[in-house]
Each structure stands twice: as structure tokens, then as C-alpha cells.
A and B are shown apart, each in its own frame.
Chain A
């Protein structure tokens, strides 16, 4: 359906028909997400009543793999966010990218992304979940690189893909281990808890691998660096993927697996530590950004860190806080991203220093930004306040070092207050600037969605019943695997959380008032902060290229001689290994009492070899090689194998003649570049080692008794069955008559090939004569 909207943007705006088609375009663009939202809303009552919907179909019956989906409280919250914010973003993007030549492609990919994301949060099978998960990575790659004219967008797209792709593969390995440990890939069966995976020896590796997947996807320190870089994407994409949906996939998975894998020390410590560090560093880095979108990206990092932290705590308070904050964060962050997009659209800049005094020119945008930022700062009566209170409730109850957790939450929240001010107040208040084109509010299609999201923050704050029984309680129950009662209220009573909220606000405002010196201090401090894994990523890419170049130079040099050397070196290693396994008998008898002529033949062979190696004339080398052949033939004769010796001799003669013919075409040996001494020594070493191994094998063979069955068979059967006394003849024409037949067929085929060659020459000659 998205594809149908595409050409409309290019239609003339003046024609009434075009206006009609334009409206139709909007309807079509948002139809699918809207329909899905409606579907999911209709499921809310049933799921809120504790129902779990399952749908499954056979995928690979022979292997017991099923494609199954599961709708419970957790999945439904995510599905609603994905489809609901999808409606807003689709409508917004339709206006934002109006007239873009590749609008079709954009909407196709965006729709695919939405479906993949829904698949991720609703899949019941781990393998299916992984498939959808990687599909979101893939589609996000295409969306980040959408403005591909810019080199940074291309690099950022590839970086995001590689970082989350690596994480995804680690996660797949973790899933396979998990499936092996639990005996099932179905999430619903995992949660039934028939097998306690936490007691399995593979628990730690599988937990680590799965968490790498979650952390890369949800931009946890030290893998967070791809997220700010991914801001090269068009703003609607950032709003949708990088704040509301895709980066939450890791959070979703951690929440989903909490009852299966959570509750251990490893889980709590890892998630709490990663979450706390990410939240604090994210909020600190946010303040140092001059680009509004980058600033929002870092506050998203902070939000994701907070969610991880809360899931790490694992208790009821933490999970409820996580679910509320998840909703709240989606509302305000998506709205703010879209607001920044509107500012960018109107003024063509996102630099904080270049923006001020826009409130009068863009009143609706200002109101939206203010409402969203109030929720972000956590001021009553917005829902952000409730979320912050709950975060503190959870932090105070932290099972590990509660003081540190509370401190981290306090620091992150306070700096978020400041960041909210920087986004919502900075561009709108202060001196009005002179713009070449006076900025104005965007069309209603671009402001209505963000305003709705911001208004949801107010509504849910004033009427918490809107979300607590319908969404939060079922989601928290699904995460904890036990029914949970949730009653949200603005007023939690006096206590530590309220005091902490007050402190947050005070600290945040203090930082806001001191923002100019703070900027400078942060810029100075930024150099000292850990730079995360981006350096490792860059170094790894450079290292990979270096390694590739090295192997081409060392192994893939194109010289046949070197290739042969590699092969022989490998064979030596492999045979050596085989000897080690096989257990070579160390004392192989070396029979030295051989007759004199054998010594002579051996001397001839050795001399021939030596001459072949030393000579600089090819002809001498070939003759010397012929001498080696004669030596071998003598040995055959001495053992009564005259026919074999004859064959050996004839072959050798043929070989020498053929080589001599080829020699005529070759450059003189002396004129070829001489090889270095080291290369010669290495080659000699290889030859000696290989020769030694082969000799050892031969000695080993001599040590085993000869199997005489065949010899006896031919001796006893030649005369009676085949009526011949020459055993060789009998073998050729009787026992192996079919072989001989085959050989004749081969000769005939060769003759045919020769005929083909002759005909080619003849026809070529004919052509020549005709041309003449």
C-alpha cells in the first residue's frame, strides 16, 4: 500500500485531483499501522484480564520447528507502541519527505521494518524472534543510509548494521545454547519453567551471549556509539527506530527472559552496572552536544540505560517502573525528535547555538516541545513524574549497592532535566533571529502527531488509570510471570522518592542556569571520558583490511611454486599428526644386508638426483632424471618384475623426449631470475621432511606381512579357467576383459577428438581459401 502513495508527491499541487490523491496518499500510508493499532487496542481488554493469545503454524514439521506468535501483556504494550507511533511517524514522514524521488522505497522499507519489529515482540519461537530481529537490523540499515548522498550516512549505516549484526549473531549462539539447555525454543514453554536454565553449566556463556545481543541493539555502554552516529538517518526514522521501537528490542528481550534467566547475581550485577554506567554517561554526553538530534540521541542512550538498570534490579518495583518509563519515554522522546525535525525543516539547522526565539514563529511546535520536555524532566502533573518516582522506588530497593544505584539515577535524571531544557527552551526562547526565510509551523500533518504524543503524557499523568490497569499491570505481570497489582498516582506520599525528585529538579535547574560554563567543562572532560568501543570497532576494521592484504602477499602470491610448497608443508604437518595418533613403532627394522647391485642402483638414483638439482642446463637435468628412472628400473628387474621395469623405462624415455620437445619453447634456464638462498634452503627442508615421512611410511608397510591372496588366485586360476599360462596375458584378456574394452573405448574417444581437431583446421583452411 505504501507503494501506491509514491507518485503522488510529484503531482502538481494545484490540480483538485492532485489534492484528492494527496489525501488518499496519507490515508494509504497510515492505513496499515492504523489498522494494526486498532487490532491491538481491541485485544487490550482480553489481555488485561489475564488472557494470553497464541497462534502457531507448522514451519518445519520434520524438525519440530513451528512459527508461533504469542500476545501477552508485554508483547501487547510493545505492539501498541510500534503500531501507534507508527501511525504518527508514517503520516509525519509522508509530509517530511514530500517530493523525495525515492519515497516509494522509503515507505516499503519502513513498512517492512514495522512488520519485522512486530514480529520480534510477538514471536513465541526464539529462532523466529531472531529472524525478525535481524530483519529490523537489515531494514534499519537501509533506512539509516536513505540519505546516501552523504558519506557519513553511509558509514553510519554500515556501522549500525555491523555492530547490531555482530550482537545478533552472538545472541543466536546464545539462543541455540539456551534451546539446548532448556530443551525447547518456545518462549511460552521456557517461561513455564520445567527446566531451570540457571542451574545449567552453560548458563553463564548463554547469558553473556544473549546480553551482548541485547546491549548492542539497545545501545548500552560500551556498544552505544552506533546510536548517535545513526542520527544521519532522516528524522522520522530516528524518531521511530532510534527512540521508540528498534532500540527497545533489547529491552524487550531482557524483560521477556527475566523469569527464565534473571534473578541470579550475574544477571543483577551485569544489568545494573551496564545500565547505571550507560545512564550516567549518556546524560553527561548529551549536554556536550551542539546538534539537537545528537543531544536527543544521547538522552535516548540514558533512557535505555535506565531501563536496563531497572530490569537488572528485577523486583516488582523495578519492573513496574521499567514498564511505566518505557511508555513515558516513547511518548516524549518520539515527540521531541519530531519537533526537532520540524525545526530542521523550517530553519535548515539543528545547531543549538544557531537557534533561539522561535516560540512566536512556531507556537504549536513550541507547545508540543514544552509538554514533552516537562514529561522528560519529570515534573508533575505529567506522567514523567510518576515514572521518575517509580524509578526511585525501585532504586532504593536495589539488591546490590542501593546507594550507588540511587546516586546514578539521581545524576542521570538531574542531567536529563537540563537536557530537556536545552531542547525545549533553548531554540524557542531568547532573542529572535533574522531568517532569510521566516520560519513557521509545519503543516498539520506534521504537528498533529507529535502534539498527540505530548498530550498523551499529560493525559496519562492526570488520569493514570488510562494506563495502569490496561497496559502496565498486564505487562509487569507478564515480565514477572506472576499477577501484579499496579495503581499509579501522582501523589505517592511523602518519602525518600519525593525528596529525591525534589533534589533532581533542584540539581537539574542548577545545571541549566550554569549551562554555559558547564558546556565548556564538559567539552574539556569529554576527552577524559572512556571513549567506548568505537575505537575498537575502527581498529578492528583496519586490522581486518591489514590481515587481508597480508594474506594476499604471503599466501595468494600467484606463484605455482609457492602454492606447491604450502601444500607439502601442510601434508607434512598432517602426516606428522597422523603418526602421532597412529603411534608409529619407533624401532622400524632397517634391512641393510642388501646385495651390491642394489647399492649401485641406489647410488645411481642419488647421483642422478644430485645432478638434477645442481645443474644449470635443462638438458642435463632431464638426462639426469632419466638416470634416476633407470636406477628404479634396475631395482624392479632385480625383484623379478621385468614387465614393470620395462614400463618404467619406456615411460622414462617418452618423458625425456616430450620434455626435450617442450624445451625448445622455453626461455634459457640461466636467464631466469635466480632464487634467493633462503628460499632454496626452505624448499630443501620441505623436500627432506616430506621424503623422510614417506620413507617412514614405506618402512612401516614393509613391517607388515604381504597379502598374497591375489597372487595365489591368479596362479591357481589362470590355467584351469582361462587356459593360458602367461598370467599377465590372461589377466588382460580374460580376468579384466572389461578393463581392456574400456581402454579401447578411450583410444577411440581420443581418436574422435583428433578428428574434431583436424576438421577445425580443415574448415579454417577452407575459410581462408574462400576469403581469398
Chain B
């Protein structure tokens, strides 16, 4: 008789998949007013999934013939992804009701995307990697074009789909090359194969490059970033918030698992690629942001630069570097969601404000919102003692430590510092507008408790991270250790 695989390690994913499909049916067959309820249940489902993840613990368990792995790294990143998704759904709920796009499909699609992300985090095989990535991506393409009656949203969805499909193609091509030359798709065996041969076969190297390029799309690293500003601007704002948070975390987790795991012995080769991607992302992301007048495009470039920083830690190629990346992604995600919560709060005459210049004088009319914006901007600029500084600090510490062996990493550190300065310039320009410039127009008063709650929560985290950094730092250290010893 066929032996059944162990389902327990994948329990969170199974729960999420079944719940989401049930929710889909509930939405389809329910009455017209179910959208709100579906959104609320979706948050609860994510919460329960998170509890299941935590309940499983951090012990390493491999199942489904080695396709799926659950370990300390997976547990940490999954919790992060789930938090990001839950917050995004909360933001989307408030927005959708205001903007009359309250459809049950939105939370359901976001849940499917989240399922894909969880699979990505736990992928232990090129096949499961691809399945997870596509589950996520296909849902995201649809979500990007959710306002299909808006030209910009449709354009965003189309661009995202075409470029995303191309990147998936690159990834698949790379995977098939790796399989063709290595004879296996499973991470552990690939690792063994590479460790055994002094010089890896050229096909594996090329395949790895293809795979990294495909993944670079997902985290919008330069030069695979072009979709980001257009999609961020075109997609509905809460969807943009979602794009900027959870999928980035999942993709970074996937890159970490892939490069530190099966390709851990090819660090010499991939660190060059990551080096180039990181450098280009930091520099371009920082410089290009200067000219932006649309706050969503600004956030797009900000996310590009931030991914450059995250890759900086990866380029170090050490456990400390991976720890830095994990810390960085945690802080980045919270800051980004907070910033988008602020953006979602800004309305004038019933319309969303996206032009940065319209923020002038916000401190006069909405002091608390202005304070929130200032906290997030200062934090994104990496000014201590806000959380963003610590994200950069741990990455820099790892890079400088690794630079003792690979002196070219100093160059990366220098460019990292330079682009932080440039980045500070445009983040602080927003603060200047809010606090020092005269108001042009007043903002609408509105009371949306759920968005306000997200804003306050993320703001407090950003502000007081310095006082209680231990849970995040210990969690990140454990996650990185799991990746390197597991």
C-alpha cells in the first residue's frame, strides 16, 4: 500500500487552502452583502494559520518526498508573511467599502496569494518552489487589475502579468537547466551535488543565474524593477500596500532559502550577481525617487532601494548577513504597511491624495497623522532611534564583518551609505512639506477605525523597536541559524 506523507508540517498551508476554498464558495453562493464578512473571516483564517505555524514550533521537518520543509526559518518568515497579509486585508477592507469596490474576490485572492507565499517559504524543491511562486503570482496579477474599469489599474495588471510571466519563464528555464545538468530538483540533493564537485557544471551556474533573475523580478531588484513604479501607481492603494509587504518578504525568504541552501557552496558565483543587483537597486532606487511627485511611485522606488539593502546583507554570504536580511525585512514590512496606512487616510474632497505636494501643511490640520508620517519617513530614512536605522545597522554590521575577507564588499557598503543619504533627502522632503510648508487644501475628516488601528500599531512598533528589539533579533538569529545548520 502507498505510504501517506506526513501532513502535520504542512498543516497551516492545508488549513489555509481548505479555508480559502470554503470562503470562495461562501462568497459565490452567499448573498450580495457577504463581502465584508468574507474579509473579516479572512483575517481570522490568517490568524488561525499563524497560530498553527507557531504551534508547530521550529523543529525541522521534511515531508512530501522532500518537497516541503518546515523549520525555524520557515516559521519566522511565515508568521511575518501572515502578519503582512492580515494587515493588508484590514487596510483593503476599509478602502474597499469607501471606494465601492467591495467584492468578496479581493480577500479571497489575497488569501490564495498568501497560500502561495507560505509554499514559497517552505519550498524544498524546484517544483514546489515554482508551484508556490505561481500560486502567488497568478493571484497577484488579478489583484493588480482589480479595478478593471480604471485604465491605470488595467495597465498595471497587464504590465505586471507580461513581465511576471517572463520572469516565471526565466525561472522555469533555469530550473530545467539545473535539472538537466544536476539530475535532481530537490534542494538537499542539489546541495550535495555542488558540494561534491570542485567546479560546478556550467549548466548549473547558468541555471542558477536564470533562477536568480526570475526571483529578482519578484522583489523588484534593478534591472528587473521596471514594473514596480507603474504597478504601484496603477493598482488600488491597499493592493499596492499588499504588494509592497508580504510578497516581498516571501520572495526574499525564497531567495535566502535557495541561495543559502542548495547553492550555499556556490557563494562565490552568486554573491557576484547579488552584489550587482544590490548595488544597482540601492543607487537607482534612491536617485530615481527624488523626482517623484506621486507618493505611490515614491514608495515604489523606496521599496526598490530597500530591497537593494536587503540584498546587501545577502551578498555578505554569511549567517550574520542572513540574520541582517531577516531583521531588515521585518522592519521594512512594518514600516511600509504603516506608510500605506497613512496614504490611505489622506483624502481631499472625497478623492485619494497621491501628489506629494498636496501633503503640505498636514501638521496643521491633522497633527497625529503628520506625526505618523514623520515617524515612518524618518524611519525609512534610517535615522536613529527609529526601527529603520536598526534594519540598516544589522545589515551594515554583517557586510563590514564579511568585508574583512572580501574587500569588494566595502564598495557595496560605501554605496549603501551614499544611497541612504540620497534616500534621506527625499524622505525628509516629505517631512519638510508636512511640517514646514503652508497648507494648500485641507483634508477630509474621516474616522476609519481599522486603518487607524493599523497605523497606530505599526507606528508604535517603528518608534519603540529600539527599546524592545530582543524578540525580533532573537527570532531572526534563530531563523538564520536554522538555514545555515539545517
B181 in the interface (beta carbon within 8 A): yes
A138 in the interface (beta carbon within 8 A): yes
Q: What chain A residues lie within 8 Å of B188 (beta carbons)?
A: none
Residue of A nearest to B384 (CB): A131
Interface size (A, Cβ < 8 Å)? 72
- A548 to B163 alpha-carbon distance, docked (Å): 23
Q: What chain A residues lie within 8 Å of B181 (beta carbons)?
A: 701, 704
Contact B203 A574 (CB under 8 A): no
Within 8 A of A (CB), among B398-454: 400-401, 404, 413-414, 417, 420-422, 424-425, 428-429, 432, 435-438
Contact A134 B291 (CB under 8 A): no
- A176 to B416 alpha-carbon distance, docked (Å): 14
Residue of B nearest to A148 (CB): B436
- A295 to B162 alpha-carbon distance, docked (Å): 62
Residue of A nearest to B420 (CB): A169
Contact A60 B470 (CB under 8 A): yes
Contact partner, B383, options A61, A138, A575, Cβ 8 Å: A138
B484 in the interface (beta carbon within 8 A): no
Contact B202 A578 (CB under 8 A): yes
A545 in the interface (beta carbon within 8 A): yes
Q: What chain A residues lie within 8 Å of B393 (beta carbons)?
A: 127, 172
B200 in the interface (beta carbon within 8 A): yes
Q: State whether A752 and B288 are in contact (beta carbons under 8 Å apart), knowing that A62-B474, A570-B213, A697-B177 are contacts in the complex.
A: no
Interchain nearest-CB distance for B215 vs A (Å): 13
- A544 to B291 alpha-carbon distance, docked (Å): 9
Residue of B nearest to A145 (CB): B436
Contact B473 A548 (CB under 8 A): no
Contact B385 A131 (CB under 8 A): yes
Interchain nearest-CB distance for A118 vs B (Å): 15
Contact B201 A582 (CB under 8 A): yes
- A127 to B396 alpha-carbon distance, docked (Å): 12
- A583 to B199 alpha-carbon distance, docked (Å): 9
Q: What chain B residues lie within 8 Å of A172 (beta carbons)?
A: 393, 396, 417
Q: What chain A residues lie within 8 Å of B158 (beta carbons)?
A: 560
Residue of A nearest to B200 (CB): A582
Contact A701 B203 (CB under 8 A): yes
B255 in the interface (beta carbon within 8 A): no
Contact B291 A548 (CB under 8 A): yes
Interchain nearest-CB distance for A634 vs B (Å): 22
Listed stretches A157-165, A383-391, A724-732; interface member: A157-165
Interchain nearest-CB distance for A424 vs B (Å): 34
Contact B470 A145 (CB under 8 A): no
Interchain nearest-CB distance for A263 vs B (Å): 25
Q: What chain B residues lie within 8 Å of A137 (beta carbons)?
A: 383
Q: State whether A162 and B425 are in contact (beta carbons under 8 Å apart), knowing that A60-B470, A142-B435 are contacts in the complex.
A: yes
Contact partner, A701, options B27, B180, B205, Cβ 8 Å: B180
Q: What chain B residues lie within 8 Å of A707 (beta carbons)?
A: 183
Interface of B is mostly: helix
Contact B202 A579 (CB under 8 A): yes
Residue of B nearest to A760 (CB): B103
B378 in the interface (beta carbon within 8 A): yes
Q: What chain A residues lie within 8 Å of B292 (beta carbons)?
A: 548
Contact A582 B205 (CB under 8 A): yes
Contact A574 B213 (CB under 8 A): yes
Q: What chain A residues lie within 8 Å of B429 (beta carbons)?
A: 158
Contact B163 A176 (CB under 8 A): no
B287 in the interface (beta carbon within 8 A): yes
Contact B288 A552 (CB under 8 A): yes
The number of inter-chain residue pairs (CB within 8 angstroms) is: 184
Residue of B nearest to A767 (CB): B32
Q: What chain B residues lie within 8 Å of A491 (beta carbons)?
A: none
Within 8 A of B (CB), among A742-771: 749, 752, 755-756, 759, 763
- A149 to B364 alpha-carbon distance, docked (Å): 13
Interchain nearest-CB distance for A168 vs B (Å): 9
Contact B290 A752 (CB under 8 A): no
Interchain nearest-CB distance for B27 vs A (Å): 7
- A560 to B183 alpha-carbon distance, docked (Å): 36
Contact A700 B428 (CB under 8 A): no
- A59 to B200 alpha-carbon distance, docked (Å): 44
Contact B288 A697 (CB under 8 A): no
A170 in the interface (beta carbon within 8 A): yes
Contact B163 A545 (CB under 8 A): no
When each residue 538-579 of chain A gets 1 if its CB lies under 8 Å from chain B and 0 otherwise, what string results? Answer: 000100110111011001101010111011011100110111
Contact B202 A176 (CB under 8 A): no
Q: What chain B residues lie within 8 Å of A759 (beta carbons)?
A: 28
Within 8 A of B (CB), among A128-150: 130-131, 134-135, 137-138, 141-142, 145, 148-149
Q: State whether A170 and B424 are in contact (beta carbons under 8 Å apart), knowing that A148-B435, A570-B224 are contacts in the complex.
A: no
Within 8 A of A (CB), among B142-197: 158-159, 162-163, 166-167, 170, 177, 180-181, 183
Interchain nearest-CB distance for A277 vs B (Å): 25
Q: What chain A residues lie within 8 Å of B183 (beta carbons)?
A: 707, 709
Q: What chain A residues lie within 8 Å of B162 (beta carbons)?
A: 560, 564
Q: What chain A residues lie within 8 Å of B378 (beta carbons)?
A: 138
Contact B421 A697 (CB under 8 A): no
Residue of B nearest to A138 (CB): B383
Contact A567 B223 (CB under 8 A): yes
Q: Can you report 18 A-B residue pairs in the complex whose CB atoms are below 8 A from each other?
A: A62-B474, A154-B437, A158-B432, A162-B425, A165-B421, A180-B401, A548-B291, A556-B226, A556-B288, A564-B166, A567-B223, A574-B209, A575-B209, A582-B201, A582-B202, A701-B177, A704-B203, A756-B28
Beyond A154-B432, A564-B162, A582-B203, 20 extra complex contacts between A and B, CB < 8 Å: A131-B385, A145-B436, A148-B437, A158-B428, A165-B421, A166-B421, A169-B420, A169-B421, A173-B414, A173-B417, A555-B226, A556-B229, A566-B223, A569-B223, A571-B213, A577-B209, A582-B199, A582-B205, A700-B202, A704-B181
Residue positions of B touching A, CB distance < 8 A: 21, 24-25, 27-28, 32, 105, 158-159, 162-163, 166-167, 170, 177, 180-181, 183, 199-203, 205-206, 208-210, 213, 223-224, 226-227, 229-230, 269, 272-273, 284, 287-292, 378, 383-385, 389, 393, 396-397, 400-401, 404, 413-414, 417, 420-422, 424-425, 428-429, 432, 435-438, 466, 469-470, 473-474, 477
Residue positions of A touching B, CB distance < 8 A: 59-63, 127, 130-131, 134-135, 137-138, 141-142, 145, 148-149, 154, 157-158, 161-162, 165-166, 169-170, 172-173, 176-177, 180, 541, 544-545, 547-549, 551-552, 555-556, 558, 560, 562-564, 566-567, 569-571, 574-575, 577-579, 581-584, 697, 700-701, 704, 707, 709, 749, 752, 755-756, 759, 763
4 nearest interchain CB pairs?
A582-B202, A148-B436, A131-B384, A548-B291
